[in-house]
Amino acid sequence: MMKVYYGCPQTIQTMGVSLVDTREWLVNHSSSVRGYLDLLERSQGWKSEEFIEYQNSRLRQMVRFANQEIPFYRRLYRNRNVDVSSIRTVEDLARLPTITKRDVRENWNDFVPRRRIRSKSFYTSGTTGTPLMIKVSRDCEGINRASSLLRDRWAGYAGEMIARFVGDRPVANCSDKNLCRRSFVMNRLFLPSYCISAKTFPKILDTLVKRKVQYLQCYPSSAFILAKLLQASDKYLPLKGLLFSSEPMHEFQRDLIEERFMTKAFGFYGQAEQLLSASQCQKGSYHLAMIDGVLEVLRDGERISPGERGFTVATTLCNLAMPLIRYRLDDYTGVTDTKCECGRTSPTIYPIEAKSDDIIVTPEGNLIPPSSLTFPFKHLKHVMESQIVQKASNKLVIRVVPADGFSSDDESQLTNSFREYVGENMSIEVEKVSEIHQSGSFKKRFVISELNRATFDRAYNEGGGV
């Protein structure tokens, strides 16, 4: 289909984009999505007991359904001697074993229920491995869509012109005279994040200004490159808001993005599996939707208290098409122990920093999350992009896309700054590259660990601190 699309004149491509966008418009304006959006808004005033009652009721139904309809769980629970009738509250989930992406991949057919459930297929991004297809029921898709619309609403978005720099492929060639394609149905521009460069930036900026774009929808990595290019040309682009998802936004990125676009950035946390979602409010807190799934945060296999950080395990409350129960997402976060200043009562989580695969292990066994490794880049003006790769337990490679003016002094400053975090026993190599690798959906990982899981688990269990 993309070959046919690229072979058509631009006017036909624009018509095609608008036609495809019709489905999203219809979903966004459907009675089910609007109903879930209203429920999400109402739930922002619920007491904690009401959230617990809602989740417990849904959980009992989901576990019973999984045991009856899903061969994988029926076999797993029988082999583990699990009495499904005893799982009545969120607290009881700890009695069930966790499952992994590998379990789903190797037993995919056994995760599909015997009865037919209306669903749509989604694929994980593949940034940490091979993409995995997940079937998501229409109701669950509607809840996830409503949660993202809630983030948009909190950002003040009301249908103004918006430009997208995400996983779209609007043009086949970055030398195309016009890099954007417009959807008249959704009143938005599609621009290729894979074409952002110093060479194309004047054309991109001219498009954003002439089309009177008020909002950007970006991956943090794309927004940061745009902000760096604005900084390099000593320009600003005032917006009403910037909407991001799919990647963590680190503080050094947020500072420059909000400065150059003269606005606030609003995040959305979700996954292709659509197990959990959280929307960022005007005060910067990520509020869990609570009606789509149950979040557990574990350290060394045990639940931790609010205020601490660990790795996520999630259970769907809505996806009957492929129920995932105690599924290891392994995102690094935690439930906060404070109430948000915005006045909403839904629980809040810390911004997602990384997956376990994105954490650096030092030769001494210390665990360092990506957020700590952003500080050496804060004052480097001659680096466009960067990526940290752990090649071995004692070797780091820092890939940088140098900007004009990058020198040996910048390289030394970067190496010395990193040394403060990873210690003297870590070898650090700065590698200058022309670009940072993107996944198939054009996401970019800030940290990549090539260590095996056993090395990470050993460091974690032997007392390494995050």
pLDDT band at 466 (very low <50, low <70, confident <90, very high): very low
Helix, strand, coil tally for the chain in percent (to 5): 40, 20, 40
Least confident piece of the model among 329-338, 358-367, 415-424: 358-367
Alpha helices in 155-240 (DSSP H): 201-210, 220-232
pLDDT digits (tens, 9 = 90+) for 364-375: 777 676 666 777
Q: Say which residues have a Cβ less than 8 Å from residue 353's Cβ, sequence separation at least 6.
A: 248, 332, 333, 369, 370, 371
249-266: average pLDDT: 93
Q: Report the pLDDT value the prediction gives residue 222, as an integer from 0 to 100.
A: 86
Q: Say which residues have a Cβ less than 8 Å from residue 346's Cβ, sequence separation at least 6.
A: 43, 44, 46, 51, 287, 288, 289, 290
Q: Say which residues have a Cβ less than 8 Å from residue 253's Cβ, sequence separation at least 6.
A: 220, 221, 223, 224, 227, 374
Q: Which two tokens stand for residue 260?
A: 């150059």
Distance (Å, rounded) from C-alpha 283 to C-alpha 264?
10
Residue pointed to by tokens 């990982």: 445
Q: Report the pLDDT value the prediction gives residue 190, as an integer from 0 to 100.
A: 96
Q: Report the pLDDT value the prediction gives residue 228, as an integer from 0 to 100.
A: 87
Residue 184, helix vs strand vs coil:
coil
Distance (Å, rounded) from C-alpha 176 to C-alpha 155?
32
> Residue 418 pLDDT more than 80?
yes
Q: Report the pLDDT value the prediction gives residue 463, as an integer from 0 to 100.
A: 47
> Residue 356 pLDDT more than 60?
no
pLDDT digits (tens, 9 = 90+) for 81-97: 999 999 999 999 999 99
Q: Report the pLDDT value the prediction gives residue 220, as an integer from 0 to 100.
A: 87
Least confident piece of the model among 8-22, 130-144, 412-426: 412-426
Instruction: Give the alpha-carbon dihedral of 380, 265, 30, 181, to 10 degrees.
Output: -50
- Where do the domains of the chain lie, and which CATH numbers do they carry? 27-149+270-352 (3.40.50.12780), 156-263 (3.40.50), 356-461 (3.30.300.30)
> Residue 431 pLDDT more than 60?
yes
Q: Report the pLDDT value the prediction gives residue 323, as an integer from 0 to 100.
A: 97
Residues 210-220 as b/e (b if ≥16 CB within 10 A, e otherwise) read eeebbbbbbbb
Q: Is 440 buried (19+), middle (13-18) or exposed (0-12) by CB count in 10 A?
A: exposed
How many other C-beta atoms lie within 10 A of the C-beta of residue 367?
Answer: 18
Q: What percent of the chain has pLDDT over 90?
A: 63
Which whole-number Å values give the CA distances from 247 to 14, 127, 134, 140, 438, in the listed order? Answer: 28, 10, 20, 22, 12
pLDDT band at 458 (very low <50, low <70, confident <90, very high): low
Mean pLDDT computed over every residue of the chain = 89
Q: Report the pLDDT value the prediction gives residue 385, as an integer from 0 to 100.
A: 82
Q: Report the pLDDT value the prediction gives residue 434, as an integer from 0 to 100.
A: 87
- What is the residue type of 225? I
Q: Report the pLDDT value the prediction gives residue 130, as an integer from 0 to 100.
A: 63
14-38: average pLDDT: 95
Q: Report the pLDDT value the prediction gives residue 362, as an integer from 0 to 100.
A: 82
pLDDT digits (tens, 9 = 90+) for 374-416: 777 766 778 888 889 989 889 999 999 888 888 998 899 889 8
Q: What percent of the chain has pLDDT over 70?
A: 91
Least confident piece of the model among 201-205, 302-306, 433-437: 433-437
Q: Which two tokens stand for residue 166?
A: 């995400």
